[in-house]
Every structure is written in C-alpha cells, then in structure tokens.
Amino acid sequence: MIVPVRCFSCGKVVGDKYESFKKRVQAGEEPGKVLDDLGVTRYCCRRMILSHVEIIDEVIKFHEGKENLDLKGGE
C-alpha cells in the first residue's frame, strides 16, 4: 500500500528513503549497495524497504468503482 513511515520493529524512519531507493534500483544499481549508501543497515529496516509492494493503484480502482455505484444508487 503506502510506504511505512517507520520500521515496524525498531521505529527508525525509513519512509523518506524509499523513493531514492526505488529510482536508483530502477536505474540498475544493486539494492544492497543502495541501502548501504542510504544508511539503512539494520535487517529490520532493510526488510521494510525491500518487501514493500506498491498496490495503491490496484486498490484505488475499487474505491473509484464504489463511488460510481453510490452515485447511481442515490438517483
């Protein structure tokens, strides 16, 4: 869904690093080296960034569909 702001385990802020991580990995850099360069050294924090899956675009389709149904039903 949305990138977590803090690590679930230790509480360190990781949300500000995701966009730069994503851009650099898409540019062809190795994910482990990018995380090291960004200062994400704890296993728990690395897990938060590496395991994040962006599905907000898929979820929003269902919300938009619900709004359309609500409008039709109220007429």
Residue 6 in 3-state DSSP? strand
**Long-range contacts formed by 51-59: CB under 8 A, 24+ apart:** 52/3, 52/4, 52/18, 54/1, 54/3, 55/1, 56/1, 56/2, 59/1
Checking if the pLDDT of 75 tops 70, the result is no
Helices (H), the chain: 18-26, 31-38, 43-50, 56-73
List the domain boundaries for the chain: 15-73
15-73, CATH topology level: Arc Repressor Mutant, subunit A (1.10.10)
- Measured CA to CA, the distance from residue 5 to residue 25 in angstroms comes to 20
pLDDT per residue as tens digits for the range 8-60: 999 999 999 999 999 999 999 999 999 999 999 999 999 999 988 888 878 88
Quick one: pLDDT at residue 1?
60
